[in-house]
Amino acid sequence: GAVVSQHPSRVICKSGTSVKIECRSLDFQATTMFWYRQFPKQSLMLMATSNEGSKATYEQGVEKDKFLINHASLTLSTLTVTSAHPEDSSFYICSAMTGGDTQYFGPGTRLTVL
């Protein structure tokens, strides 16, 4: 089946630093990738949708200058949390979609900002 990886799986950083999270589709080309955030005991909330080669579409309330998304190739999308603060601590999950309708999820990245 389709496999999506994320790196790193866990990151701890100091407040004010920037953190980059990678999302890769390992055995398929993903025309569209999605980034979600999940706070403890809450559901996944879509942050943005990215299509290869074009700017990401951000959901209402998500700061595009804070959460930079780059979808440089059909197998890689990156999310950079700029000037991270403790309230950005969360579980970040990406998903990738092939030409069909199914989204395949990555294992997630746990970000802790001290």
Partner 1 sequence: QKEVEQDPGPLSVPEGAIVSLNCTYSNSAFQYFMWYRQYSRKGPELLMYTYSSGNKEDGRFTAQVDKSSKYISLFIRDSQPSDSATYLCAMQDSSASKIIFGSGTRLSIRP
x/- map, 47-76, partner 1, by CB under 8 A: --x---------------------------
Q: Under the criterion CB under 8 A, does residue 28 sit at the interface with partner 1?
A: no
Q: DSSP secondary-structure letter at 9? A: S
Tell me whether residue 49 or residue 80 sits nearer to partner 1 (CB atom).
49
The answer to whether the CB of 44 falls within 8 A of the CB of 38 is yes
C-alpha Rg value of the chain to the nearest Å? 13
- Within residues 29-48, the interface with partner 1 by CB under 8 A covers 32, 34, 41-46
Q: DSSP secondary-structure letter at 59? A: P
Q: Under the criterion CB under 8 A, does residue 107 sit at the interface with partner 1?
A: yes
Tell me whether residue 88 or residue 104 sits nearer to partner 1 (CB atom).
104
Q: Which two tokens stand for residue 1?
A: 């089946």
What per-residue string of b and e applies to 6-24 under the rule 16 or more CB within 10 Å gives b? beeeebebeeeeebebbbb
Residues at the interface with partner 1 (CB under 8 A) = 4, 6, 32, 34, 41-46, 49, 91, 93, 95, 97, 101-108, 110
